[in-house]
Structure 1
Amino acid sequence: MTSEYQKMIAGHYYSPGDPELRQLVQESRRQQYAFNQEQDAKKRTAIIQSWFGSTGQHLHMETGFCTDYGINIHVGESFYANWNLTMLDVCPITIGNNAMIGPNCQFLTPLHPLDPEERNSGIEYGAPITIGDNFWAGGGVTVLPGVTLGDNVVAGAGAVITKSFGDNVVLAGNPARVIKTIPVKEKSHKKI
């Protein structure tokens, strides 16, 4: 790995003051300003689709969006995000199809060293967030670095998700824990 950007997205220590990273942050700030000032939902969608790492064709995001880079965010088809979404993407944030994100949610990939001398030196690192299909996050959900969630996960309002969980669960609390399993429905096979 030669560049600070490559180190950053791989989850290694990197210097956030690197000129390439500062330039990417400045471009992200321009995109955020354009997105958050735009009143037309179709134009906001076009901004996101040209900015994010990848998106589906159908998405809707309300204003109040904050991010570090934007280019490390990947969302699937039928993505919906309510007001004031924060996605700090020093490492990739990947969310599958059919996601519904409530207001004031946070997806946070950055980490800082615990050792005070290392932390005060300004170096940082991160861990990716990966979420499967059919995710529903209630208002104020926080997903922390390194979390992987399976398909069909529901996170109750205010949940702080500190570790990974599999498919078909309802999470709640701080730290989040499984409070319910979602039954898997058998698909009926109709004979023609």
Structure 2
Amino acid sequence: MKTELQKMLDGELYEAWDSELVSMRTKAKILLEQYNQSLASSPEQKKALLTTLLGKCSTVDIQAPFYCDYGVHILAGDNLFMNFNCVILDCALVTIGDNVQMGPCVQVYAAYHPLQASERIKGPELAAPVTIGNNVWIGGGAIICPGVTIGDNTTIGAGSVVTRSIPGNVFAAGNPCRVIKSIE
């Protein structure tokens, strides 16, 4: 029998109030509170907090405040920059490539809920992985929805709502986000 964590990571309906998941989120909240209050901390102390939260984070610059569900399901590449007030709901794997930059208030959602109200009101949730390629710029206020992949070398315009995967080497923007032009 699968645990709720296994169901969550496998994209199946899961119960977010499961004690293991609640414990994992509580641990992340404690680390995030420390990180978000670490303005006077040394760079080494801030990196130690991020390493505990995310695992690998060799050259990651995340401006506080930052919020996520678990942290451990975020795979951050080298040279990641996230500006103030970014949110990652990492109920499924969120993979972020190298040299990714995010403007302020970018939101990355791996979490979602059933569309059928009769199922949704029962409480279980769903999650789908999000993949952001290498050398991607995501403008401020953009929302990246569950199951989306953004290809390498792509720019997402500020305020965009990315509901479908976007190929590499393009500028895409809007609500819903769509390819505006190719980038050579």
**TM-score normalized with structure 2 length:** 0.95
Q: Which amino acid aligns with 1:48?
A: L
* Alignment match, 2:52: 50
Residue in structure 2 matched with residue 9 of structure 1 by the alignment: 9
- 1:149-174 deviations in Å (ceiling 9; x for gaps): 11001011101111002110111100
Q: Distance in 2 between matches of 1:156 and 1:115?
A: 31
Does the residue aligned with 1:48 lie in a helix, a strand or coil?
helix
Q: Secondary structure at the match of 2:166?
A: coil
Q: Deviations over 1:40-72 (max 9, x none)?
A: 3612222112211433x1111110111111110
Alpha-carbon deviations, 1:93-146, whole Å to 9, x = none?
101000111000000011111111211111001111001100101111110000
Where structure 2 has 5 or more consecutive residues not aligned to the other structure, the ranges are: none
Moved over 3 A (4+): none
Q: Distance in 1 between matches of 2:125 and 2:107?
A: 19
Q: Which letter maps to 1:130?
A: T
**What residue is the counterpart of 1:165 in the other structure?**
166
Matches within 5 A, 1:24-173: 24-39=24-39, 40=41, 42=43, 43-55=45-57, 57-173=58-174
- Aligned partner letter, 2:91: V
Q: Secondary structure at the match of 2:50?
A: helix
Q: Whose Rg is larger?
A: 1
Q: TM-score, normalised by structure 1?
A: 0.91
Q: Distance in 1 between matches of 2:118 and 2:55?
A: 34
Q: CA RMSD of the aligned region, Å?
A: 1.1
Deviation at 1:2, TM superposition (A): 1.5
Matches of 1:53 and 1:72 in 2, distance apart?
9
Counterpart code for 2:49: I
